[in-house]
């Protein structure tokens, strides 16, 4: 690099020595692994006419320098791209690929490189505050703690500190204990913090401020001017950020943008996700798609990919791909269901219903406790994947729906299929006895056999210096986006709870910063949801009524 730092780099080349386009993957996870859980080995890409360059980012594994997440990826990536373009084995065309953090290395390098020709950022962030570390101001606890522990372990290995390696491994081997440790700010013992110094900084910057803006891709969209293939998964923890990257760059119109959203979680990408098998169409075909994409934009081969519909979505339920011209599709109409009960919607045993008509009379509000000492568990979803504690993907929700601190509202069985594509929105009128309260909404597809499969969710934190007791607040929760067909005979279900642990941090309900709360600070709160004529709580689904999607195709 220009400052004298050497970055360890592996190069895979065709055996005939001819110059070819090059694909760069920059990773903090050891270049020798080359993202083996998502992509084909470099030998496959080499056999299809590309050079592959895999690099340890600054301060990781065999590369020199100090690792500060995101800080050096723009400059180092741009300088590496320039170096590749000058090599005799490269014909001057350079692209990038990779998912998660290697998606960040691409986005940031794209804002600084004049020689990058195309990129394929997958399952990555638009900001490293919202959508990465926090969600609507709520810490993404399970992901952040496991990710930081993994990074710290690698750094301890690099330093030859066997005791620290063992201590990080102990944390990772007992994630339930790690997630439950209080206060969160002290989740890592003092002697481990030198290996993860950024952890305390992230906890101290809950709001999107200049600390985050300096390395945020969304602040640099105007400098990104190359064709891009954005890859996402409906159950991936960076879904919304990946979609934001696509829509922002596509709206600028400077280069063609493509979007693929499969049924996958973060890794691996396969037809089996969580408790469901989405069939042959859901198999990982990303390598073949990337081959076509880079052939068009690096080799100039007219393979027609640039004339295909740019948005490719896997629709759950019917388990097939549909192609659209935009995200979200422009032919969406809202379908609204209203919450109804006699004040006893708690649990599957309750009286909660979703109905098509708004309430026209008074009705009793539904109250439920929120106990941070016994939080509602995360079952499936988009929080990462720690199978024993917080499994990702579609998972039957009935074990948690039996709890009396979960409100359950269910529609009648549908007499015709209902397909939705986009962002469901829950508009609920709430109150709480606590000065700070979390409300979680989860949309569920209920099968005729009773299985309750989670689709998407949202979380919002209500904070008031004077408390919110007795004050009814209209809360709008935009749930994570989804494409799903509720088939005939299925029911639509909305769950409302006061926690989603350990995907998200617990709210102590005492008004203090949750990361500083100890076990003694945790307070039980009473939450309320209103659904009368003056407070028509509802869930609005983005229904695809008029679209005529392309015939079934692979991604």
Q: Count CB neighbours of 210 within 10 A.
A: 7
Residues 6+ apart with CB under 8 A from 3: none
In contact, 304 and 295? CB cutoff 8 Å: no
Distance CA 233, CA 393 (A): 10
Distance CA 345, CA 365 (A): 9
Identify whether 412 is a catalytic site residue.
Answer: no
Out of 56, 154, 236, 457, pick the active-site residue: 236
- For β-strands 51-56 and 9-12, DSSP reports them as antiparallel
Is the bond into 328 cis (omega within 30 degrees of 0)? yes
| Region for 98 from its dihedrals, namely left if φ exceeds 0, alpha if ψ lies in -120 to 50, beta otherwise | left
DSSP for 252-264? HTSS-EEEEEES-
Enclosing H/E stretch for 349: none
CB neighbour burial string for 449-482, b if at least 16 within 10 angstroms, e if fewer: eebbbbbbbbbbbbeeeeebeeeebebebebbbb
Identify whether 342 is a catalytic site residue.
Answer: no
Out of 63, 100, 180, 411, pick the active-site residue: 100
Distance CA 316, CA 234 (A): 9
Identify whether 266 is a catalytic site residue.
Answer: yes
Three-state secondary structure readout of 115-133? CEEEEEEECCCCCCCECCC
Residues 6+ apart with CB under 8 A from 495: 397, 401, 406, 407, 408, 409, 440, 441, 442, 444
> 478 is written with which tokens?
């935009």
- Cross-strand bridge partners of residue 12: 52
Out of 76, 127, 216, 266, pick the active-site residue: 266
Distance CA 306, CA 301 (A): 11
For 295, half-sphere exposure in the C-beta direction (CA atoms, 13 angstrom radius) is 16
In contact, 143 and 509? CB cutoff 8 Å: no
| Nearest residue to 455 (alpha-carbon basis) of 531, 389, 367, 382 | 382
Classify residue 516 by burial, with Cβ atoms within 10 Å: 0-12, 13-18, 19+: middle
Is the bond into 183 cis (omega within 30 degrees of 0)? yes
Tracing tokens 């606590």 back to the chain, one arrives at 434
In contact, 437 and 462? CB cutoff 8 Å: yes
* Residues catalogued as catalytic: 100, 236, 266
């Amino acid at each position: 690099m220009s400052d004298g730092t050497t970055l360890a780099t592996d190069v895979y080349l065709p055996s005939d020595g001819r110059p070819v386009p090059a694909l760069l993957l920059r990773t903090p996870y050891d270049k020798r692994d080359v993202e083996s859980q998502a992509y084909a080995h470099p030998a496959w890409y080499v056999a299809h006419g590309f050079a592959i360059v895999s690099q340890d980012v600054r301060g990781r594994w065999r590369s020199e320098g100090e690792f500060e997440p995101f800080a050096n990826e723009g400059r180092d990536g741009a300088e590496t791209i320039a170096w590749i373009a000058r090599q005799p084995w490269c014909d001057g065309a350079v692209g990038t690929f990779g998912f998660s953090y290697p998606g960040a290395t691409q986005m940031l390098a794209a804002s600084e490189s004049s020689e990058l020709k195309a990129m394929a950022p997958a399952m990555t962030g638009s900001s490293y505050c919202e959508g990465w570390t926090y969600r609507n101001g709520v810490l993404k606890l399970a992901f952040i703690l496991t990710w930081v522990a993994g990074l710290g372990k690698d750094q301890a290995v690099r330093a030859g500190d066997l005791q620290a390696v063992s201590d990080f491994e102990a944390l990772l081997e007992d994630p339930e204990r790690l997630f439950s440790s209080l206060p969160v700010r002290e989740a890592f013992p003092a002697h481990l913090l030198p290996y993860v110094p950024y952890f305390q900084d992230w906890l101290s910057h809950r709001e999107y401020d200049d600390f985050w803006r300096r390395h945020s891709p969304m602040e640099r969209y105007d400098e990104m001017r190359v064709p891009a293939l954005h890859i996402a998964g409906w159950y991936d923890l960076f879904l919304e950020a990946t979609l934001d990257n696509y829509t922002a760059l596509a709206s600028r119109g400077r280069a063609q943008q493509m979007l693929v959203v499969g049924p996958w979680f973060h890794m691996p990408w396969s037809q089996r996700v969580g408790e469901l098998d989405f069939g042959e169409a859901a198999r990982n075909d990303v390598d073949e798609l990337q081959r076509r994409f880079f052939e068009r934009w690096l080799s100039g081969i007219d393979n027609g990919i640039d004339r295909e519909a740019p948005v490719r979505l896997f629709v759950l339920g019917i388990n097939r791909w549909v192609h659209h011209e935009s995200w979200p599709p422009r032919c969406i109409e809202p379908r609204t269901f209203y919450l109804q009960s006699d004040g006893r919607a708690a649990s599957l045993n309750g009286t909660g219903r979703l109905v098509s008509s708004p309430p026209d009379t008074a009705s009793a509000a539904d109250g439920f406790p929120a106990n941070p000492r016994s939080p509602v568990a995360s079952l499936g979803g988009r929080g990462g994947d720690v199978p024993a504690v917080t499994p990702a993907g579609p998972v039957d929700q009935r074990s948690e729906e039996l709890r009396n601190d979960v409100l359950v509202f269910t529609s009648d069985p549908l007499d015709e299929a209902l397909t939705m594509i986009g962002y469901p929105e829950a508009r609920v009128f709430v109150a709480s006895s606590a000065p700070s309260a979390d409300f979680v909404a989860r949309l569920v597809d209920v099968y005729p056999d009773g299985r309750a499969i989670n689709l998407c969710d949202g979380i919002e934190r209500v904070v008031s210096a004077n408390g919110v007791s007795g004050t009814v607040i209209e809360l709008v929760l935009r749930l994570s986006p989804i494409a799903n067909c509720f088939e005939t005979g299925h029911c639509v279900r909305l769950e409302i709870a006061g926690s989603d642990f350990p995907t998200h941090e617990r709210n102590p309900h005492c008004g203090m910063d949750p990361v500083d709360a100890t076990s003694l600070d945790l307070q039980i709160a009473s939450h309320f949801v209103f659904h009368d004529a003056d407070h028509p709580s509802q869930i609005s689904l983005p229904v695809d009524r008029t679209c005529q999607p392309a015939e079934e195709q692979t991604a």
